[in-house]
Structure 1
Amino acid sequence: MLGLRRLLAVSGHLGGRRAPAVAPAFAASSHSTLFVRALQILAQPGPVRLQKLSAPDAGIMELRLERPEAKNAIGKEMLQGLRSAIEEVEADATANVVLVASSVPKVFCAGADLKERRLMGPAEVRDFVNSLRSTFSSIEALSIPTIAVVEGAAFGGGLELALSCDLRICGKDAKFSLPETSLAIIPGAGGTQRLPRIVGRSRAKELIFTGRRFDAAEAVTMGVVNYCVPAGEAYQKALELAREINQKGPLAIKMAKKAINQGAEVDMTSALAVEEECYEQVLHTQDRLEGLAAFAEKRKPVYTGK
């Protein structure tokens, strides 16, 4: 409401300023129109929307990119929206899996907002890229699984966003690239590190050195995406996977993710120690006993995350 008061104050309706003399009916109409406009401005959705799905899909969350005028290019506002959404997901004990999708037809994310970037000095660019890298690392570090839903273009930072997710599903018309070297820079939000871990060092070098685009079929072959489905059906496939994950023991899913992610960064002996530690976390849970009981009674388990 503070923002609304400011908008009204600017027009002379608040703050002690007097508006020009007008007929009472017109004044009332003008005031009403301004009030509605102010509400519309304040109510405009931001470029990132986070929502929970309702039963029977409770536990599944959707993070949606919604900046159609810029093909979901990542600017300061979207970056802040992403950070806020991630914090909200991590703080929600009922969340079991997150879908990262676009509400803009035929585009996942076109990358960084280059129009905004042109107005930044070197120090501001550095701060922005560091914050973007940190944000994508926060997505990767979420304790629950994340699934990127890619329809259309995933370029630059858009591909880096998808790579920070645990799983990636794309439509047949999806296009991918890390074109930063064409702009005399490098992928700076994790692309030089996550891509080679997925496709191998040599293939990643080729894609980054040339900046070339590759299609959905090649993305599947290289392992960039887990599944490629007909155009327009990526969300449905991702939702099916999310539903499967959502039925499993929540603590087990979290510990499996932790074991895989942390184990992949160390030697085998250390990795097996990580696995042992994670197994210990699920050993004394109510869910483990529920799983055994459900198996014996030939019924579906009802997990509570305890």
Structure 2
Amino acid sequence: MSDDEFETLRMRADADRVLVELARPAQRNAINAAMVAELHAVCARIEAQPRILIVTGVGPDFAAGADIAELRERGRDDALAGINRTVFDRIAALPLPTIAAVEGNALGGGAELAYACDLRVAGVSARFGNPEPGLGILAAAGASYRLPALVGTSITKQVILGGRVLDSAAALSCGLVAEVVADGAALTAACALADRIAGQSPLALRLSKAVLDADVPHPLLDDIAQAVLFESSDKAERMTRFLDRSRK
């Protein structure tokens, strides 16, 4: 799929990162089946050539939810297929760090897409919430297991059961976002964060992410990952440069 074949996304691929913009501004970037398919296509490219991913939205909102008109028509078999969940899980499993640059509303499926990213930066007017129970459904695309890991069970229950919407200040205080910036500056901040990440060893980043995302205590996994890195030429070159600088 070439870039001009995307209908719901804008994508720019550079040597070290891929920028994806959710591009349904008239629908507040609501996530529909076409967008899910195109996000899968983006994931396939990044899996084939690992790079940092930045996700943002076109217009004033990140994504104000899933497409309700589509959701209303979905039945049991669609739910069991995990249509939105599977692509968010795939984004979460990408080998290198992923960043959500959030402006405005990140609600429902939009919030779950942001939760699936490793890091989030937000404009001051950003809002995160999961109003799915008010529509008679479950927040089933990752909120039930990602949000507790990010902010704890109590705040997760406030959001999902109590209908609380987290503004940028609350999102920062509970650790959901790494940084709050002026409205309109979230993408710039995300790109600066990507610049810092890109300066690190790609292999070390990839193994660090795998270790951090492991489900159980993993001291042996840490040792094995470190053993791989100790044998890498990148490690030797980086440490040599560090020592050379420290001697000057």
Give the TM-score, by structure 1 length. Answer: 0.76
The match for 1:92 is: 49
Unpaired stretches in structure 2, ≥5 consecutive residues: none
Residues 211/126 of structure 1: CA separation in 2 closer, same or farther (3 Å cut): farther
Taking the aligned partners of 2:226 and 2:49, their CA distance within structure 1 comes to: 23
SS, match of residue 266 in structure 1: coil
1:44 offset after TM fit, Å?
6.6
Taking the aligned partners of 2:74 and 2:86, their CA distance within structure 1 comes to: 19
Taking the aligned partners of 2:174 and 2:92, their CA distance within structure 1 comes to: 20
Q: Deviations over 1:59-87 (max 9, x none)?
A: 12112211112111111101101111111
Match of 2:130 among 154, 178, 189: 178
Match of 2:115 among 143, 150, 163: 163
Match of 2:10 among 49, 63, 80: 49
Amino acid at match of 2:102: V
Q: Deviations over 1:21-48 (max 9, x none)?
A: xxxxxxxxxxxxxxxxxxxxxx674112
**Which runs of structure 2 are paired with 1:235-250 in the superposition (5 Å)?**
235-250=187-202
**Which runs of structure 2 are paired with 1:57-96 in the superposition (5 Å)?**
58-93=15-50, 95=51
Unpaired stretches in structure 1, ≥5 consecutive residues: 1-42, 300-306
The match for 2:203 is: 251
The match for 1:297 is: 244
Taking the aligned partners of 1:266 and 1:45, their CA distance within structure 2 comes to: 38
Taking the aligned partners of 1:81 and 1:108, their CA distance within structure 2 comes to: 17
Taking the aligned partners of 1:49 and 1:90, their CA distance within structure 2 comes to: 18
SS, match of residue 192 in structure 1: helix
**Which runs of structure 2 are paired with 1:15-164 in the superposition (5 Å)?**
45-53=6-14, 58-93=15-50, 95=51, 97-102=52-57, 104-127=58-81, 130-164=82-116
Q: Deviations over 1:132-163 (max 9, x none)?
A: 11111111111100000000000001000000
Match of 1:282 among 224, 229, 234: 229
The count of aligned residue pairs is 243
1:227 offset after TM fit, Å?
0.7
Higher relative contact order (CA 8 A, sep 6+): 2
Instruction: Tell me the C-alpha RMSD between the 2 structures.
Output: 1.5
Taking the aligned partners of 1:189 and 1:131, their CA distance within structure 2 comes to: 8
Larger Rg: 1
Native 8 Å contact 2:129 2:164 kept in 1: yes
Q: Deviations over 1:252-277 (max 9, x none)?
A: 11111111111xx213xxx2112112
Native 8 Å contact 1:156 1:178 kept in 2: yes
Structure 1: 4+ residue segments shifted above 4 A: none
Q: What is the percent sequence identity of the aligned residues? A: 35
Amino acid at match of 1:266: V
Q: Deviations over 1:220-247 (max 9, x none)?
A: 0111111111111111111111001101
SS, match of residue 73 in structure 2: coil
Give the TM-score, by structure 2 length. Answer: 0.93
Native 8 Å contact 1:180 1:211 kept in 2: no
The match for 1:206 is: 158
Q: Deviations over 1:102-121 (max 9, x none)?
A: 1x221001111001222333
Taking the aligned partners of 1:278 and 1:46, their CA distance within structure 2 comes to: 40
Taking the aligned partners of 2:65 and 2:182, their CA distance within structure 1 comes to: 24
Taking the aligned partners of 1:121 and 1:98, their CA distance within structure 2 comes to: 32
Native 8 Å contact 1:179 1:210 kept in 2: no
